[in-house]
Structure 1
């Protein structure tokens, strides 16, 4: 039996809310403003390889939604409400998360973020101006991602690949970076207050400055 395929389709606002969707292909589909709260997508494809286009989740409600083993390459998540969003073991190369919100604002001075993004390929994705503080973001590939104006303060970024990113463009204070590939991180120019790294990582970073760490 062939897997279901939706192509060039605009979905109704509550068509998938709270459902579990498995093994479905969505090619050039429009989820803009759709309520996907608590919806689970498993082994789904949202990338049209022939046309090299993804789906649009612009301004969608993604509170508590999850994507497991999905292909989200070049999908658009601009302005989505994504508190508690989970993306795991998925492809999201070139996906655009700029201006998406992972925050729950309680008052002008009280808020928190929640996201679980792990074991996924985020190469060349756009996270500009996104707040992902104190979130679970481990074992991801961030190669070449746009992190301009983003904040990851206090998040678990362990096991990540940060090759070819601009360390100056985002806030990494208080992050767990253990077992991560740190690319061209320069201790002299990046604020690493509260950051966790392993002894081997520290030795490598110090060696770039001509310092040998013993023991």
Structure 2
């Protein structure tokens, strides 16, 4: 796992709205802090070597954005459209991403830590070196994905749906879920604990566990 290559102590303070000063909607080498961004719609914005701290993006649309070496700290990106976005060496720390749409995005060296991602859409994606840590992914749509070195650590996965997604090498043993919707055809190689195995046996095979 590669971490964002950003020298946080040397970033220049800036406003997100400075992105409009560049014809190609580009921000780099800066700190964004304490802003409220409401319903902004920008096609193909680019952020490089940026720390975003306590910023709320309310129902924004950043389709086909490019985020490289970016750290989001305590941000709210709920209900934002981040579809077809490229994330490379990006970290989300203590962020709120309820209902956020990541469909058809590309994740490479991405970490979600202590995040609330309930009802988010993560479909038809390529995920490589991606970690979900101590995060809530309740009722998340996680379908038709390609997973390489993707990890879930101590996450809440109740009502997560992962259909048409090969789960070989995925370890859910220290995660929690009351119910989960997986594709029987793609379970081979999935790692679970004994309690989870009992649920899956009952769910797919109608085996009663006493």
Q: What TM bracket, shorter-length normalisation?
A: 0.7 to 0.9
RMSD value over aligned CA atoms?
2.9
Higher percent of residues as helix: 2
Do structure 1's residue 45 and structure 2's residue 56 form an aligned pair? yes
Superposition TM-score, scaled by structure 2 size: 0.77
Give the C-alpha shift of residue 160 in structure 1: 1.6
What does the per-residue CA deviation read over 1:148-194, in whole Å, with 9 as the maximum and x for residues that have no partner?
Answer: 21233541112122222223342322112132123434799253333
Give the gaps of 5 or more residues in structure 2. Answer: 1-13
Structure 2 Cα separation of the partners of residues 92 and 18 of structure 1 = 24
Structure 2 Cα separation of the partners of residues 160 and 191 of structure 1 = 21
Alignment match of 2:179 (pick from 184, 188, 213)? 184
Structure 2 Cα separation of the partners of residues 19 and 115 of structure 1 = 20
Higher percent of residues as strand: 2
Do structure 1's residue 149 and structure 2's residue 144 form an aligned pair? yes
SS at structure 2 position matched to 1:149: coil
SS at structure 1 position matched to 2:163: helix
Superposition TM-score, scaled by structure 1 size: 0.75
Partners of 2:123 and 2:141 within 8 A in 1 = yes
What is the total number of aligned residue pairs between the two structures? 192
Aligned match of 1:131: 126
Do structure 1's residue 19 and structure 2's residue 30 form an aligned pair? yes
Give the gaps of 5 or more residues in structure 1. Answer: 48-53, 103-112
Aligned match of 2:101: 96
